[in-house]
Amino acid sequence: MNEKRTVAAKQAALIGLADANDGTDEEFTGSTVDLFRQACGQYVDGGQIDMTFSETLTAAQYANLRAEWKRLGALSTEVASSPFSRFESLEPEDKEAKGKGSVGKTLATRKVQGNVFVTVVTVRFNVHVDIKG
C-alpha cells in the first residue's frame, strides 16, 4: 500500500475512533472532524500546506474546536503507527488590527483568525480559521 493510501486508511481509523464517542460527553463536533479531513485531504491529494477552513466559527466555537483538537491528538495515539502528530492551535488574533489583513496579492482580507496545526507524516499543515465577531 502506498503512503497516501496508508494515510487515508489511518485517517478513516481515527475518525472511526472519534465517531465512537458520539452520544457521550466526549463527542466531537462536526467542525473538528471536518477540519481534520480537510488537512488530511491536502496531504493525500497533494494540496497546499496553508489553507483556510471551510467554515467561519464564533469565538466560542473556536475555543471548543481547540479543546477538541487537543483531544483528537491524544486519540490519534490509539491508531497503530499513526502518521498524525503535533495537534496544536493558537489563540485567535486580530489580523486586521495588526496590519496583517491582506491575503497575499489578492483582494481578500481577513479580520480575526485562529490557526490549527497538524503534522501528517512529515508535512506540517496550518489551517486558518476565520472567526466572526
What pLDDT digit, counting tens, does each position of 75-117 carry?
Answer: 999 999 999 999 999 999 988 777 765 666 655 566 899 999 9
Tell the burial category of 128 from Cβ atoms under 10 Å away from its Cβ (0-12, 13-18, 19+): middle
pTM over 0.75: yes
What pLDDT digit, counting tens, does each position of 19-53 carry?
Answer: 999 999 899 999 999 999 999 999 999 889 999 99
Indicate the DSSP class of residue 54: S
pLDDT exceeds 90 at position 124: yes
pLDDT exceeds 70 at position 1: no
